[in-house]
Amino acid sequence: MTQRDKVEEITKRLHETDRDILRAIEKRARIVQDLVGLRSDAAKLSPITDPERMRSLEQGATAPLSAAAIRPIFAAIDAACRVYEVAPRVACVGPEGGFPFLAAGLHFGPRAELLRAETPEKALEEVARSQVDYAVVTYETLRDGLAFATIQAIASLDLKLVGEREVTHTLALVNKTGNGSDVERVYASTIHHALCEAWLGQNYPKATVLHVRSAVMAAELAAENHGAAAVIPARLVTAHELRTVAENVADEGEMRIRYGVVSRLPMARTGADATALIFGVHDRPGALYDVLQAFKEKNCNLRRIQSRAVPGGDGWEYVFYVEVSGHVTDRPVVAALEGVKQRARLLKIVGSFPLDAADVSPPSSSASR
């Protein structure tokens, strides 16, 4: 067998395997339809592959496929398999093609209607006014920690956190050819330019940087004009038939962001959940200890606790944010929250949500990049 014959034979096997994968995904999509049809309200949008099953898939991966590749593959398949009777309307903060839009696409799939909101507060207000079904907002970053103002807005508007999605974003410099010597001007949104300003200045000091409304517009302009390049999220590159000139061009490297999915309706129990809440304590010795003891007495695991000073009374008061393992309807959590109500100055349930990853703590604001 000649070299050419071997290549043709291997290519044929590859195409046959691709067709088998397509048939398997179609079969999975039909199964997902059956499963989602039995769910109600916000639960229709919860992950199809739960954290324990995802971990099992990762552990079952064999060479040459790495365990790290499993989650992105199945996240994409999960999103593509979602079929809605009525596509959900989702408010996302910032310009089209920005990081929140990408996170929403991963969570809701390609059929969701993604709408722009100027700020997290406006996105949440759209949910409260029933103008959209969900909002996807930045909930936590490694650099800035918890978005406490957003969490307080969720609670004050009586909305519910119903999902989380942790995404690692990278920016790429792209153009039509993939050749860096062709770059004369660079299109970028103001946000993305700010994230890689030092890198561009060092590597392309003579290139003119032009601000545009969104990453999508930057990509379209780069695709249309020779000599033009764009700074866009790496996840957008293949969608616009562009080639990568340089990867991971942000000044601080990869950006790990945890997003919150917010709805008017609470999320049903999935069996792999966490519950977020905020509480305040009375101004007396041992007040915080007494509240935390309520969780210990009912054997409830606190995944995290963080304090924040807020204006109140004649000075400052401290509010505590807690995530506890379990759903708000689980008996141990119900009993613990009853104890908290009796001992705390205030208590607000932010919401129960399916975990994006099993037994993995959210990014810590004290961690370094």
pLDDT single digits (tens) 250-282:
999 999 999 999 999 999 888 889 999 999 999
Q: Do residues 233 and 169 touch, judged by C-beta distance below 8 A?
A: yes
Does the structure show a pLDDT above 50 at 61?
yes
pLDDT single digits (tens) 290-336:
999 999 999 999 999 999 988 766 667 889 999 999 999 999 999 99
As a three-state string, the secondary structure of the chain is CCHHHHHHHHHHHHHHHHHHHHHHHHHHHHHHHHHHHCCCHHHHHCCCCCHHHHHHHHHCCCCCCCHHHHHHHHHHHHHHHCCCCCCCEEEEECCCCCHHHHHHHHHHCCCCEEEEECCHHHHHHHHHCCCCCEEEEEEEECCCEECHHHHHHHHHCCCEEEEEEEEEECEEEEECCCCHHHCCEEEECHHHHHHHHHHHHHHCCCCEEEECCCHHHHHHHHHHCCCEEEEEEHHHCHHHCCEEEECCCCCCCCEEEEEEEEECCCCCCCCCEEEEEEEECCCCCCHHHHHHHHHHHCCCCEEEEEEEEEEECCEEEEEEEEEEECCCCCHHHHHHHHHHHHHCCEEEEEEEEECCCCCCCCCCCCCCC
Which domains, ranges and CATH numbers included, belong to the chain? 3-169+256-263 (3.40.190.10), 171-253 (3.40.190.10), 273-354 (3.30.70.260)
pLDDT in the model for residue 85: 58
pLDDT in the model for residue 49: 59
Does the structure show a pLDDT above 90 at 185?
yes
Q: Which of 34-43, 135-144, 219-228, 313-322 is predicted with the least confidence, judged by mean pLDDT?
A: 34-43
Of the two residues 360 and 133, the one the predictor is more confident about is: 133
Q: Which of 39-48, 131-140, 164-173, 179-188 is predicted with the least confidence, judged by mean pLDDT?
A: 39-48
pLDDT in the model for residue 59: 86
Count of alpha carbons within 13 angstroms of residue 351, beta-carbon side: 28
Does the structure show a pLDDT above 90 at 47?
no
pLDDT single digits (tens) 64-90:
888 878 877 887 787 777 666 567 899
pLDDT single digits (tens) 100-113:
999 998 888 778 89
Segment 346-365 mean pLDDT: 68
Does the structure show a pLDDT above 70 at 366?
no
Instruction: Single out the residue of 171, 97, 170, 165 nearest to residue 136, CA to CA.
Output: 165
pLDDT in the model for residue 309: 86
Segment 336-354 mean pLDDT: 95
Share of the chain above pLDDT 90, in %: 62
pLDDT in the model for residue 84: 62
Provide the greatest CA pair distance for the chain: 87
CA distances from 302 to 106, 321, 326 (A): 28, 11, 10
